Amino acid sequence: MLAYVLRRIGQSVLVLLVTGLVAFSMFRFVGDPVDNMLGQERTQADVERLRDRLGLDEPFAVQYWSFLTNAARGDFGLSYRQGRPVAEIIAERLPATLELAAVSAVLAVVLGVAFGIYAAIRRGGWLANAIMTASLIGVSLPTFLIGILLIWIFSVELGWLPSYGRGEVVDLGWWSTGFLTASGLKALILPAITLGLYQMTLIMRLVRSEMMEALGQDFVRFARARGLPERAVTLRHALRNVAVPVITVTGLQLGSIIAFAIITETVFQWPGVGLLFINAVQFVDIPIMAAYLMGISVMFVGINLVVDLSYLAIDPRLRAGAGGRT
Amino acid sequence: MSRMARAWDSDLAYGFRRSPLAVLSLAVLLMLVAGAVLAPLVAPTDPFDPASLDLMNGFTPPLTENEFTGERFLLGTDDQGRDVFSAILFGMRISLMVGVLAVMLAMVIGVSLGLVAGFRGGLVDSVVMRAADVQLTFPAILVAMLIFGVAKGITPVEYRDQMAIWVLVLAIGFSDWVQFARVVRGATMVERDKDYVQAARLTGRGSLSIMLRHVLPNVLSPVLVIATISLALAIIAEATLSFLGVGAPPTQPSLGTLIRIGQDFLFSGEWWILAFPAATLLALALSVNLLGDWLRDTLNPRLK
Amino acid sequence: MSAPDPVPPALELRNLRVDIPTRRGTLRAVDDVSFAIAPGEILGVVGESGAGKSMTGNAVIGLLDPPARIAGGEVHLNGRRIDTLGRGALRRIRGAEIGMVFQDPTSSLDPLLTIGDQLVETMRAHLDISGKAARARAVAALEEVGIPGARDRIDSYPFQFSGGMRQRVVIALALCAEPSLVIADEPTTALDVSVQAQIIALLKRLCAERGTAVMLVTHDMGVIAETADRVLVMYAGRMAELGPVREVIDRARHPYTAGLMASTPAASRGARRLYQIPGAMPRLTDLPEGCPFHPRCPKAQEDCRRVPRPTLAADGGRAACLHPLDPERGAEDVARAAEGTAR
């Protein structure tokens, strides 16, 4: 079991080192960092000083290492465009994205699993069929079109909900939240639906197909033959057995939510990290792109690790076999 | 071989006739592609020719007479007086071109890397497959955005708009090779251990070229399925990037760019500037997607 | 409207019919099956795969896979009609009054729950006992089916047991709520040959101790010969022959039964070469006119083709055959006749 955990952690570190290399190469080789940071009016002495400070004359490996250690401390240098520390800019934007992502994720997981189970149990029923048809549309619609459609209906035509921004936010020290005001909550509704819908349909379709497979298995049949109540059969036996694939995909989807927030934040002008990133891409603000990439990869790797470890909690066969090869 | 090919064809054709959804999708797709390819001939106006634009025609609703010029437009005009229908036809050209080229690029990269990885094995294989794993950790659209940003950074400022389309092809193509590589690698590994390859190796002949002839036919149908589904994804990815402002420039608007422009007029009531490009994108993506689904179910039920 | 018997049979089927509606018409998977099993009796049900044996068992416990459904007839359990019960009432009967043992113990047990959990949940679904009492009974149940060190192994997961041990757990699960009938559907087919006999002996002993009736579905004549009191032979969803086990084995009256015996190593002790019944069982989609067995029957005559399918009544309640075999000559007769037609 320890070997299994260690192997997973090793893989995670590898992924981080590779993305770190990509981020560093972006920083080092896309354009000249000195040019980008100093602007037009500069002396040769300024250039030398900055080159020295950035360590640009050191060997590649040394530079890579100092990039990594700085990154680990959250130091990604200055934004080319805003001239402020990247970490500071991101810290301002992070609460908006995390709140949006959290609400979307809860929406996607809770509704996705519930609808998926329902569609599997009531296979062929009209409501189950309606859910499945709707999900097909949900999968084919590009996210930004869903957002625009929602704005059109609920902001333009009905005028019920705001179409952009976060509404009023309350500052709690280093965190700003939209959860505490009515306008903040209202502003959250459309973006959260936009962001969560796609993941919800994916989770739902997965839960449905896995559940249907599980419900046809012998142990479910035997559970029925033992006279267990239907609820115990579906929730205690079938659902538990589909937990591993469902958690795998759900974990990945949660990571994607943060990445897909880029699109939703653009549609709704939501002042989060995604909007920051897309602006950075537009203006080739490499330090912010590099920091975003590193942040996202840390998160993905963390989620993957948690997912892997959660298998151990669910499946006794893995717990027993995890020491050796599984 | 030719008899097999014929049987395969006829099976496919038979299944096709029996699936109304597939027939409908293909019909819609062909119509859209024809409109895009023949845009210069079909379109009433050339949306890229400033001389053809009349600001007086701006904001004409669909099928309504313009109050100043008295002209009518099938799908209305935008703020510049540009015919929306023509803009859509030309926009579709860009969308389809980027999509097709990106998938072809992804296919070339994926198939070659898969072949080499499967054939060489060992270190080459591990490097390619780990790279695939790392890339798969991130959503393709994010990878495409990063590639776009980096490529833009490398391109000199004065060429950026001109290069944007090619940068898009590059970004989407590079973000989507993994699926191809995996399938081809698997098929290659199966083939590699067969006797004729071993024999060719012993005689010192180029076993890779012999193998190509055996591997490629085997992976034809899965590659075709992946390519079709990838095309739908690539079209959506292009539209998304352009919508986000990191894709096709306003001088060469794709469907995504048109939707980005149209979104500004949603609040002032000129819905048609947004709705028609959006509907076209949807029809395009959906028809390719449904065809891809159908192909997958028919050719390769186990591929997911 | 059953006549009140002093001791009603544990299970009684009257003209049971199971239909599977398909796009191309309705298939009759079980047709006109009637039999009774007395308390403590073991009835063996044999036949080739697809003969409707398992379908009959599933119909009894109300677990037919849709679209299959009971289309006619009655099922009585201890004198009480159960095929008309609602889903909830039937659910309470399953496990409590009818225990079920399936073919493959590996897939029958939920891999993610300990065997103790599965025993406790089954008992608590049917008996009004506390979790603690249920656990104590679970240990006892495991000891009874011969799991060594039951007290320590109750918290083990199914994958930690061997195939034979798993089937013992399955039997413990089937019997833990003290049912009056056990339906064992091919209980040894998936097991190693070396443990098959142990499992059958265990099942037989436990049911005898409790007076539990058993419907033992199998295609293994050897198992039937050693275990069953009476045997029912099924063919193409119909009853072919029903009678006391020694009678049917030694003096088969239906040519199909005789062929089945002659093709089984254990049952046909004298035969030097194993016999093969020519052809295959017809699919339910294209059953022949007349007796369903006649295309494969070495003794078939002209009227077997014409006369609508015979019932057991054709042979005084024993065999569904217009021309039953001479009881004294039995299997050899068939074998000889078959060799004649094959040449």
| Residue B70 DSSP SS3 | coil
> CA–CA separation, A192 vs A200, rounded Å?
11
Confirm or reject contact between C113 and chain A (CB < 8 A): yes
Q: How far is residue A183's CA from residue A55's CA, in Å, rounded to a whole number?
A: 48
Q: Is the pLDDT score of B46 beyond 80?
A: no
Q: What are residue A193's phi and psi, to 5 degrees?
A: -65, -45
Q: Which residue has the higher pLDDT, A324 or A275?
A: A275
CB-CB neighbors (< 8 A) of A315 in chain C = 111-112
pLDDT of the residue at B104? 94
Closest CA to B43 of B103, B83, B4: B83
Of B145, B240, B285, the CB nearest to A140: B285
Strand partners, A172: A175
Helix (H, G, I), strand (E, B) or coil at C114: coil
pLDDT of residue A53: 72
- Does B144 map to a domain? yes
In this complex, is the C-beta atom of B279 within 8 Å of any C-beta atom belonging to chain A?
no
Most confident of A86-100, B48-62, B142-156, C322-336: A86-100
Q: Is the preceding omega at residue A245 within 30 degrees of 0, hence cis?
A: no
Q: Would B60 be classed as within a structural domain?
A: no
A123: containing domain: 97-164+191-283
- Select from A232, A241, A316 the Cβ nearest to the Cβ of C157: A316
* Nearest CA-CA partner of C196 in C287, C103, C282, C294: C103
Quick one: pLDDT at residue A103?
Answer: 92
Alpha-carbon distance of B149 to A57, in angstroms, equals 25
Q: Which residue has 């020295």 as its token pair? A: A52
Query: Is some CB atom of chain B closer than 8 A to the CB atom of A277?
Result: yes
CATH of the domain at B24: 1.10.3720.10
Q: Is the pLDDT of residue A20 over 90?
A: no
Chain B residue with CA closest to A281: the answer is B149
Which of A228, A315, A320 minimises the CB distance to C125?
Answer: A228
Among the listed ranges A298-302, B247-251, C61-65, C179-183, which one has the minimum average pLDDT value?
B247-251
- Structural domain contains residue B54: no
Q: What subunits touch chain B, counting only 3 or more CB pairs under 8 A?
A: A
How far B142 CA sits from the closest chain A CA (Å)? Answer: 7
The confidence band for B106, taking pLDDT boundaries of 50, 70 and 90, is: very high
Task: Report the number of distinct structural domains present in chain B.
Answer: 1
User: Domain for residue B66, yes or no?
Assistant: no
Is chain B adjacent to chain A, meaning 3+ CB pairs within 8 angstroms? yes
Query: How many residue pairs from chains A and B have C-beta atoms closer than 8 A?
Result: 98
The average pLDDT across A17-41 equals 75
Contact A282 B150 (CB under 8 A): no
Q: Does the predicted model carry a pTM greater than 0.80?
A: no
With CB atoms and an 8 Å threshold, state whether B130 touches A266.
no
How many angstroms separate the CA of residue A216 from the nearest CA in chain C? Answer: 9
What pLDDT is attached to residue A111? 92
User: Would residue B206 count as lying in a domain?
Assistant: yes
- For C159, the closest of A219, A227, A317 (CB atoms) is A317
B153/A31 Cβ within 8 A? yes
Q: Is C84 on the interface with A (CB under 8 A)?
A: no
Helix (H) or strand (E) holding B5: helix B2-17
Bridge-based pairing of strands C238-244 and C230-235 is antiparallel
Give chain C's length: 343
Interface of A with B in 255-274 (CB under 8 A): 256, 259-260, 262-263, 266-267
Mutate to test the interface with A, among C103, C110, C126 (most CBs of A within 10 A): C110
- Whether residue A65 is contained in a domain is answered as no
The minimal CB distance from A148 to the residues B148, B274, B289 is found for B274
* Per-residue pLDDT tens over the stretch A218-254: 889 889 888 888 888 888 888 888 888 888 888 877 7
Chain A, window 116-175: residues with a beta carbon less than 8 angstroms from a chain C beta carbon: none
CA dihedral for A308, A312, A313, A318, sign (positive or negative): positive
Percent pLDDT > 90 in chain A is 4
Of B35, B39, B171, whose CA–CA distance to B101 is shortest? B171
pLDDT band at B1 (very low <50, low <70, confident <90, very high): very low
Q: Which residues of A touch B271 (CB under 8 A)?
A: 152
User: Does pLDDT of C123 surpass 70?
Assistant: yes
Mean pLDDT of B202-223: 73
Chain C residue closest to A241 (CA)?
Answer: C112
Which range among A116-120, B74-78, C140-144, C198-202 shows the weakest confidence by mean pLDDT?
Answer: B74-78
Cβ–Cβ under 8 Å, residues C181 and C77: yes
Residue A90 lies in a domain: no
Place C336 in a pLDDT band, splitting at 50, 70 and 90: low
Interface with chain B: mutation pick from A81, A284, A293, highest number of B CBs within 10 Å: A284
Which residues of chain B are within 8 Å of residue A15 when distances are taken between CB atoms? 133-134, 137
**Band of the pLDDT at A152, cuts 50, 70, 90?**
confident
Average pLDDT, chain B: 79
In a domain, B64, yes or no: no
- Record: contact A315-C112, CB cut-off 8 A: yes
A313 lies within 8 A of chain B by CB: no
The C-alpha atoms of residue B160 and residue B64 are separated, in whole angstroms, by: 38
Which residues of chain A lie closer than 8 angstroms to C184, CB-CB?
Answer: none
Closest-approach residue (CA) in chain A for B240? A144
Domain-embedded: residue A49: no
Q: Are the C-beta atoms of A194 and A146 separated by less than 8 Å?
A: yes
Q: Is the pLDDT confidence value at A258 over 90?
A: no
Q: How high is the pLDDT of residue B270?
A: 77
Could you tell me if residue B57 is inside a domain?
A: no
Residue B287 contacts A, CB cutoff 8 Å: no
All residues of chain C having their beta carbon less than 8 Å from the beta carbon of residue A219 are 107-111
Of residues B149, B244, B271, nearest to A266 (C-beta): B244
Whether C177 and A227 lie within 8 Å, measured CB to CB: yes
B267 vs A: CB within 8 A: yes
Share of chain B above pLDDT 90, in %: 5
The CATH number of the domain holding residue A247 is 1.10.3720.10
Q: How far is B120 from chain A (nearest CA, A)?
A: 23
Q: What is the pLDDT of residues C271-314, one digit of tens each?
A: 556 677 777 777 777 777 778 887 787 777 777 877 777 777 77
> Does the pLDDT of residue C235 top 90, yes or no?
no
Q: Structure tokens of B87?
A: 């803009």
> Which amino acid makes up residue C216?
L
Quick check: B145 and A278 in contact, CB under 8 A?
yes
Interface of C with A in 155-184 (CB under 8 A): 157, 159-160, 170, 173-174, 177
A222 interfacial to chain C (CB closer than 8 Å) = yes
> What pLDDT score was predicted for residue B9?
59
Q: Which of C61, C104, C109 sits opposite A225 (nearest CB)?
A: C61
* pLDDT level of residue A110 (50, 70, 90 thresholds): very high
Number of domains in chain A: 1
**pLDDT tens, C141-198?**
888 888 888 888 889 888 888 888 898 899 888 888 888 999 998 888 888 888 888 8
> Per the structure block, which two tokens stand in for B99?
């999509």
A-chain CB neighbours of C100 within 8 Å are 222, 225-226
C274 touches chain A (CB under 8 A): no
Instruction: Evaluate whether residue B198 is within a structural domain.
Output: yes
Q: What DSSP line would sit under A214-227, residue for residue? A: HHTSHHHHHHHHTT
Cα–Cα distance for residue pair C39/C31, rounded to 1 Å: 25
**B-chain residue closest to A249, CA distance:** B137
Which amino acid would we find at residue B299? L
Give the CA angle between residues A314, A315, A321 to the nearest 5°: 140
What residues make up the domain containing B111?
3-46+76-303
